[in-house]
Amino acid sequence: MAQAAAVAKPPAPPRRRRASATPRRLPYLLIAPAALLMLGFIAYPVISVFYYSLQNYNPTKPWRNGYAGFDNFVHAFTKDPVFWDTLVFSAKWVVVEVGLQLLFGLALALIVNQTFVGRGLGRALVFSPWAVSGVLTSAIWVLLYNSQTGITRYLADMGIGSYGTSWLSDTSTVFPAAVVADLWRGVPFFAILILADLQSVSRDLYEAAEVDGASRIKQFWHITLPHLKDAIILSTLLRAVWEFNNVDLLYTLTGGGPAGETTTLPLYIANTSVDAHNFGYASALTTVAFVILLFCSMVYLRLSKFGGEK
Amino acid sequence: MSVKEATKTAPAPVRATPEPPRPAKRNRAWDEAPRWQIYLPLGIYLLFTLVPFYWILLFSLRPAGSTSLVPWPMTFDHFEKVWTDRSFGTYFTNSVLVGVATLIMTTLVALAGGYALARFDFKVKRAFMLALLCSQFVPGALLLVPLFEIFAELQMINSLGSVILAETVFQLPLSMILISNFIKNVPYTLEEAAWVDGCNRMTAFRIVVLPLLRPGLIAVGSFAFVHSWNHFLFALMFLNNQDKQTIPVGLNSLMSADSVDLGALAAGGIIAAVPVVIVFAFIQKWLITGFSAGAVKG
């Protein structure tokens, strides 16, 4: 009955009955809280970001506020070299991070999927950084990279790097230093998602392959990897969006420096809005970020033919 | 039997092959790597994982100025200082409040919504699912300004409520998708059997479905807790008073202080990590089963 109503009839007019919800209305009642919250605190802010992107809006300079048309966008694309730099860095950051996380995460998941002595403890330990926040990750790596007392000092003793330099304040080392810090936390996340999916591979397949004499590498290539495909595609996409959007780590680790070397677009947006109060321009940048994200996701899903065949 | 049809028309999972019961005994011949191929890379990775943890522990326990690589003589001065002078005691309470409230709200709202998505076919379902998916592309950080204005309008700036609401909303979409997948894995016939036995929908749900959902709910709830415990920007933006701040903001202020007190920073970091580590130690097992059952397969 519920389904018939949903497919054939327009929604029933609201009845004045006070009895407990009929099945027809029940699903709407159930999603109402979620829908209202999301309308109020996601949809409405998104729309207002689009609106502000066409405005000059700066609470510290109210005399200049007003309709700006596409000025903000024009400024970003033609007059703001920082914008282009942040775009390039964002792309570099996402590709390197997600690529390495996928590689190491897959390897880690394959390893801890085996049975071995101490597996439970091993899993718990290697997955533990996943629970750690961006800010805490920064705190830890700030301690490790500290030029006076960090591990860099002990590494310098062994001939890796040199004394007294902080890897986070040198333009030539800050990128790998930040990447490693984020990998520390990101690899376990990937590994957990992949491990969860690994456990649902039918063991019969491997047994059959074994009977047919397939090597372990062949088994991986022809059984494991195809099985993991959807999980990999989805977690890569989620992770890429997340790495792009996440501000916590870089904001606290490098603050986008040195010399803007590690400023992603969202970090630039945060700085523009929170520190410079230039809300109109920040909104325009946000809009650009949305479009880029949506476009890249579409292309990615299309290229990977995710859910294509049905 | 319309309800049954409703379940049938629910989007099928990507792979419909049912999971065969796993053989109780594993046959080492066919699925196992040689030992060294497990222990060597795992050992290297373990080193990479644990050295940073050791480092922060070391800094938090050894006296300021020491360069020893073992925290001996051990001191808890840093913890005392951070807890009282740097008001991490207050931050801690605030973070617990935010975490628990977010956990409860997210789980309840997502449970209701997830049930609707799993068990009914209704008019706006498609659109709603699409909205859930799209919301994954909406970066919380980029909505700071409009959110700030909304909370200013609601007079909620400087109240933990603003952060709780914002965290809940951003946890909802994924939580709801996960929970609806968990519910789909509970056979509908079980619920119907309970109705036949005279339960109403609510009771049937409570005594039949809810117990089976436990791993899923634990996974989703702990996720919500950990995320809100860790998340930084909302608290930074919406809470100005020091006595309302949360742990990550406190950590950040320790880091950006002019002369960074490394001992205090390390101690603050440990305090920030402890609840999360405890949560994860308890739920580790459920988390992976929870994930594989309801995995993010859409």
Q: Does B176 touch chain A (CB under 8 A)?
A: yes
Of B97 and A152, the structure prediction assigns the larger pLDDT to B97
* A298 touches A125 (CB < 8 A): no
> Six-digit token pair at B168?
């809940």
* B271 touches B83 (CB < 8 A): yes
Surface-to-core class of residue A120, CB atoms within 10 Å of its CB (0-12 exposed, 13-18 middle, 19+ buried): exposed
Residue spans of chain B under pLDDT 70: 1-33, 257-259, 287-298
- Whether the per-residue pLDDT at A126 is higher than 70: the answer is yes
Residue of B nearest to A34 (CA): B109
pLDDT for residue A22: 58
Q: What mean pLDDT comes out for the span A155-183?
A: 82
Closest of B273, B217, B35, B19 to residue A205, by C-alpha: B19
Q: Indicate the pTM of the whole model.
A: 0.79
Strands A55-56 and A66-67: antiparallel
* A299 touches A278 (CB < 8 A): no
Which CATH superfamily does the domain covering A83-304 fall into? MetI-like (1.10.3720.10)
> Six-digit token pair at A249?
């780590």
In the chain, the amino acid numbered A212 is D
Residues of A in contact with B113 (CB under 8 A): 30-31, 33-35
Q: What mean pLDDT comes out for the span A4-23?
A: 47
Candidate from B119, B231, B269 with C-beta closest to A140: B269
- Whether the per-residue pLDDT at A45 is higher than 80: the answer is yes
pLDDT for residue B258: 63
Which residue, among B66, B132, B138, B291, would best test binding to A if mutated, counting the most A CBs under 10 Å from its CB? B138
Task: Express each pLDDT in A196-248 by its tens digit.
Answer: 888 777 778 888 887 887 777 888 888 888 888 888 888 888 889 888 988 88
Residues of B in contact with A120 (CB under 8 A): 284
Q: Distance between CA A210 and CA A279 in Å, rounded?
A: 62
> Six-digit token pair at A190?
């990937």
Closest of A1, A43, A45, A6 to residue A28, by C-alpha: A6
Estimate the crossing angle of helix A174-198 against helix A81-113, to 10 degrees.
40
Of A293 and B140, the structure prediction assigns the larger pLDDT to A293
Task: Express each pLDDT in A195-210 by its tens digit.
Answer: 888 877 777 888 888 7
> Six-digit token pair at B47?
């080193």
Residues 6+ apart with CB under 8 A from A32: none
* B32 touches B46 (CB < 8 A): no
Q: What mean pLDDT comes out for the span A20-43?
A: 84
Query: Is there a contact between A128 and B280 if contact means CB atoms under 8 Å apart?
Result: yes
Q: Distance between CA A298 and CA A290 in Å, rounded?
A: 12
Candidate from A200, A252, A293 with C-beta closest to B252: A252
Q: Does B237 touch chain A (CB under 8 A)?
A: yes
pLDDT for residue B246: 93
Q: What mean pLDDT comes out for the span A250-265?
A: 84
Q: For residue A56, list its beta bridge partners.
A: A66
Of A288 and B142, the structure prediction assigns the larger pLDDT to A288
CATH number for the domain whose boundaries are B88-292: 1.10.3720.10
In the chain, the amino acid numbered B22 is R
Backbone φ and ψ of A230, nearest 5°: -65, -40
Angle CA A170–A171–A176, to nearest 5? 90
Residues 6+ apart with CB under 8 A from A235: A190, A193, A194, B296
- How large a percentage of chain A has pLDDT more than 90? 16
- Whether the per-residue pLDDT at A175 is higher than 70: the answer is yes
Q: List chain B domain ranges.
A: 37-74, 88-292
- When mean pLDDT is compared over A73-77, A266-270, B111-115, the highest value belongs to B111-115
Residues of A in contact with B3 (CB under 8 A): 2-3, 23
Residues of A in contact with B50 (CB under 8 A): 125
pLDDT band at A9 (very low <50, low <70, confident <90, very high): very low
Residue of B nearest to A269 (CA): B142
Of A22 and A291, the structure prediction assigns the larger pLDDT to A291
Polymer length of chain B: 298
* A269 touches A250 (CB < 8 A): no
pLDDT for residue B293: 56
> Six-digit token pair at A183?
């990998």
pLDDT for residue A8: 47
Query: Is there a contact between B137 and A294 if contact means CB atoms under 8 Å apart?
Result: yes
Closest of B257, B74, B141 to residue A142, by C-alpha: B257
Q: What's the mean pLDDT when you consider all of chain A?
A: 82
pLDDT band at A93 (very low <50, low <70, confident <90, very high): very high
Q: Distance between CA A309 and CA A230 in Å, rounded?
A: 13
Interface size between A and B, measured as CB pairs under 8 A: 307
Query: Is there a contact between A37 and B255 if contact means CB atoms under 8 Å apart?
Result: no
Q: How far is CA B70 from CA A124, B54, B75, B81, B266, in A?
A: 24, 10, 12, 21, 15
Angle CA B58–A167–A102, to nearest 5? 85
Is the complex ipTM higher than 0.85? no
Query: Is there a contact between A34 and B172 if contact means CB atoms under 8 Å apart?
Result: yes
